[in-house]
Amino acid sequence: MASELKIRDATIILLRGDITKIPVDVIVNAANSALVGGGGVDGAIHRAGGPGIMRELEGIRPAGGCPTGSAVVTGAGKLPAKWVVHAVGPRWRGGSHGEKELLASAYRKSLEHASARGAVRVSFPSISTGVYGYPVEEAAPVALQAVASFLAQASPIREALFVLFDDETLHAYERALVAIAAGK
């Protein structure tokens, strides 16, 4: 299966692992709209990064929280990164409530924030496929296409790593990457 795809001067890389341990410029967090921390990737990032990330979020939290499909940036605390982009993906409601567009937007906003900070290496989890219930087979092509489209434009980003927690998720992303590479 494909685990890499070259886009202009950048590469999308798929790997199985712990996103909190991979050295990058920006770690993208699958955050909730209240930006109050949670389980899954969000909880792991907050635990590994330390309480400074939450303190910083408390200082920048938009009134009413962060809208779905958007993102905010903090420092990375003790993580092997400079910044954390807290991206809010959609909850799955059957696929007819704008989920695809909101998920793509969360990835684009993350990349916009990373590019604005001159990031060269960015890591992503599979946003919305945990407790938010987005089926990974449907989320993977949306995520990869959003990132590939962004990287096709001028950007300082050279590596977009999808650091995936389990084999099932990795294999879904590999299948989606093969389809994108084939132009489907």
Active-site option among 9, 25, 42, 167: 42
User: CB-based contacts of 146: which residues, under 8 Å, 6+ apart?
Assistant: 103, 104, 105, 107, 108
Q: Report CA-CA distances (Å) from 125 to 62, 153, 170.
A: 23, 22, 11
Told to judge if 25 belongs to the known catalytic residues of this protein, a careful annotator would answer no
How is the chain classified by DSSP, letter by letter? Answer: ---EEEETTEEEEEEES-GGGS--SEEEEEE-TT-S--SHHHHHHHHHH-HHHHHHHHHHPPTT-PPTT-EEEEE-TTSSSSEEEEEEPPPPSSS-SSHHHHHHHHHHHHHHHHHHTT-SEEEE--TTSSTT---HHHHHHHHHHHHHHHHTSS-S--EEEEEESSHHHHHHHHHHHHHHHTT-
Residues involved in catalysis: 42
